Amino acid sequence: MKVRDIQSEFNLELAAGSRGLDRDVSDGYCGDLLSDVIANAGSGAIWLTIQSHQNIVAVAALKDLAAIVLVNGHRPDDGTRAKAEEEGIPLLLSSESSYRLAGKLFCAGIDLTAV
């Protein structure tokens, strides 16, 4: 699935980074502790988090993540939007909880272990 498919299927708002909408998504990752995401997230993962400051874009770029989704209604600050736009990393927004969105994505087959 591509990021744009996930965006439309799960009704996510696009906050920035439309350039990256055709990236492939191979897995999902949930995490709010940046050191953990840096250590454990796999490339091509769509990252669900409530962290909204611009460091998340740097982390996503470093780990070659497919996209970032701010869950639970959290909104990014202007710096984060600008950085995501600059890096071409899709920054999506969801009002759903991390648990629920992760559940839905997983059940839709976005799961590296299912391959």
Partner 1 sequence: MEIIKEFKIQAKDFIHAGEGSMEIRNTLKSAGLEADLIQRASICAYEAEMNVVMHGGNGIISMSLDETGLVIEVMDDGPGIDDINLALTEGYTTAGVEVQQMGFGAGMGLPNIVRNSDIFNIYSQKGKGAHLKMRFRIKK
Partner 2 sequence: MKLSDVKMILKAEVISGDDKLDIEVKGGAASDLMSDLLNKSKEGALLLTGLTSIHAINTAVIGGMVAVVFVRGKKPDKAIVSHARKHKMPVLSTRFNMYQSCGRLYGKGLKSIEWNS
**Which residues make up the interface to partner 1 (CB under 8 A)?**
32-33, 35, 50-52, 74-75, 77
Beta-strand ranges (E) seen in the chain are 13-16, 27-30, 45-49, 67-70, 91-93
Q: Would you count residue 99 as binding partner 2 (CB under 8 A)?
A: yes
Give the nearer residue to partner 1 in terms of CB position, either 11 or 55: 55
Size of the site for partner 2 (CB under 8 A): 26
Q: Would you count residue 64 as binding partner 2 (CB under 8 A)?
A: no
Nearest to 115 by CA among 20, 25, 12, 5: 25
Find out whether 94 and 70 touch, Cβ atoms under 8 Å: yes
Give the nearer residue to partner 1 in terms of CB position, either 52 or 94: 52
| CB burial string 22-53: b at 16+ within 10 A, e below | ebebbbbbbbeeeeebeeebeebbbbbbebbe
Residue 105 touches which member of partner 2, partner 1, none, C-beta under 5-8 Å by kind? partner 2
| Cβ at position 43, least distance to partner 1 in Å | 24
Q: Of residues 76-95, which lie at the interface with partner 2 (CB under 8 A)?
A: none
Backbone φ and ψ for 73, nearest 5 degrees, come out as 75, 10
Q: Which residues bind partner 2 (CB under 8 A)?
A: 27-33, 36, 40, 48, 50-51, 72, 96-100, 102-107, 111, 113
